[in-house]
A and B are shown apart, each in its own frame.
Chain A
Amino acid sequence: EDNYVVDAKKWKKKGPYTVALCNISVVNSWRVAMVEEFKYEASKHKDIKQVVVTDAANNVAKQIADMEDLITKKVDLIVITAPPTALVPAVEKAVDAGIPVVSFDSVVDSPKVTVKNIADQSEIGEQLAQYIATQLKGKGKVAMLTGIAGTTPGQMRYEGALKVFKKYPGIKVVGQVWTNSAYDQAKRAAENFISANPDLKAIYADGGPSGYGAMQATYEAKRPDIIVVGTGSNGHFNLWKKWRDSGAKVRSFAIQDPPGDSAVALALGMKLLRGQKVQHIEKMKLWTCTDKTLDKVARPDLGDDYINSTFLPEEMKVKLWGKK
């Protein structure tokens, strides 16, 4: 799809504004942080008078209904993260009704979406896989823990990783399971893989907190030799640091799409409303953590679920994830 500059005049509108976040669900910490980022960003704009957040509790039909409700409610801007195809008609209806739509994270797949805020999901998978391949020098058994089955981001990360692994004939993927991006399921799966494959060399975990679950499994099995890569959560980083600092040779790597994408999306939307110049497609920067940056990234004072790439100010981090 071609990138272009969005017609600034078309969406210009006088404030104060009502802005909406149309969300599929708040099922995990990343999404919670994402909603908070959105609200925090909104609070920085004096001309926003109301913020509406809808939540479809994972029901696609409900999210379509939510979109229709937002149209009836005549909000001034909709920021959406949704199943990319199912919401196409609803989003187009909104745009046709004169409401600009900015989509991010799981981006709605219609050319009519006013601004697309794309984080390259495939690249997440590629980078994680590349780290493993490089460290293993192209040889060894790898187990894959992927995110939520049937979702586009999950699929794109998985395919990105496979693309890299295919380049190394010496790398053998011994199994892949969808973990629902849940700690407990990821940890159980990792345990089962470690048990079944005594010569396992690495665990690839691209779904939310599943990397933490995987690293707990290697830690408890006393197997620092198994590489664990993931999208990273504070628990992962804390354990990595603790284990490394105790003298073990731990190799790990993490890459995240920051939950602040929602804030960026809102900011871009506000530009539209104010008649400023905005690109149709904005690429989002990914965030990484390596052995070198680990000391700065890990936050033992915050909860395991803390999303380290968040832009939120310190006091909000403490309020949301603080251990006190």
Chain B
Amino acid sequence: MQEPFLKVTGVCKEFPGVRALDNVSFECLLGSVHALIGENGAGKSTLIKILCGVYQPTRGETCLNGSPVRIEHPDQAAKLGISVIHQELNLLPAFTVAENLFLGHEPSKNLGAIDRGQVRAKAQELLARVGVNVDPDTLVKDLSLAQKQMVEIAKALSQESKIIVMDEPTAALNHNEVEKLMEIIRNLAATNHGVIFISHRLEEVFQVCDTVTVLRDGQLVGTKSISELDMEKIVEMMTGKAILGTRVDGKNPVQQRKLLETRNLSAKSWFHDINITVRAGEIVGLIGLEGQGQREFIRSLYGVVKTTSGQIFVDEQPVTFRNAKDAIRAGLAFVPEERKVEGLCLVLDLLQNMALPTLKDRQRFGFIDVEKERSMGKDLIAALQVHPSNPMHKANNLSGGNQQKIVIAKWLPAKPKVFLFSEPTRGVDIGAKEEIYQLMRSVTDQGAGVLMFSTDMGELLRVCDRILVMYEGHIVKEFRGTEATREMLMTAQWGLA
């Protein structure tokens, strides 16, 4: 058998109060794609950060090409031939694409002057390789999220590393972009690179990976060749139990009461003449390619994006929103897609986060009823099975899935009429996803409505009563959740009949 290029043995990593990795061993061969999977908080990102010198392990050793190494700085990792696409975007918005691509290893002439001609040429070549059609001098902040992700991938490729690590690179990509990425990964493997691939979308793992390593709670569950595995087996390794990917339906049929309605709603260049309704007990899905106006549409319902014409009705009453507060007062709740930027105050504790939208409900003369608040926090944490369950834990140290639960939990005491979700399960593991779907159903069972935007077709097909497809700012198609198929959604997304 081939000698592993990269090998870590017995790695432990402790954070205050958390053991993120416990005696994990892992290896990666050149010319193969190795999947690293596990639930949120299993320790995947932590392992990666150790591999590239961002963290130092508490214990354990790393071998490269058979000889032990200590990777103390990302610079060193790059020199050893390891480059990483981190889970969080690592781009500088105010800098150009070219500057970002070569950050830290710019081609230079004498005296440290940047060789701008070479930078441009190489940048164009890299961008073409990942299929992003932008000028290298464009500022990153002017790119779409998917383009940013592709630039991030190009950045990793720019270092000509032997090992390329991708921590959830596909979370922000649509179907086509994912296909493109899969092709790149296969190419890398074919040209004798090693790829470590992390994703919560198991289909992708089956598409490209040769080997799968599963982590659970910071411990190694096992490493297996893909041929020995199927979907159920992987899920069981990850969660310790079997999960069925069947539809999640409501207990009661959808009611007649229209909780949310728009009539000819338009906003400048984003979307035009949108008419939708969300009824009590209903989950309505919204899908579209990147940049078709769906994100802005959801935000306009929350008063964050200004509409230019048309009318919104909540519970059959006409409303106008100047800001989020108006929308909340009318009975809406919004779960944004970038939870760390828009969903959570990371330096505050869980209780403070969860209490935020409903501070008013537990106060007298401006003073907070601490007892009431504490018990509310405990109840929510118990109901949503948040780990860790200490409400005084800082939001920052939670894994993605648990953070997302908190973002949803903070709205529950407000008892909103309609929940607006934008990518509710991005970067969330299978187990937590399941819990979030159940949560969505439990709010609709209690008479609320849900409007959700997602790029994950499987998810929409599983939970939605109706699915709307947006294209170039219009709703072009509507399906019943039980009748739609992937193929139908796909063709509709492309604006084909």
Is any CB of A less than 8 Å from a CB of B in the complex?
no
Interface residues, chain B, with chain A CB atoms under 8 Å away: none
Interface residues, chain A, with chain B CB atoms under 8 Å away: none
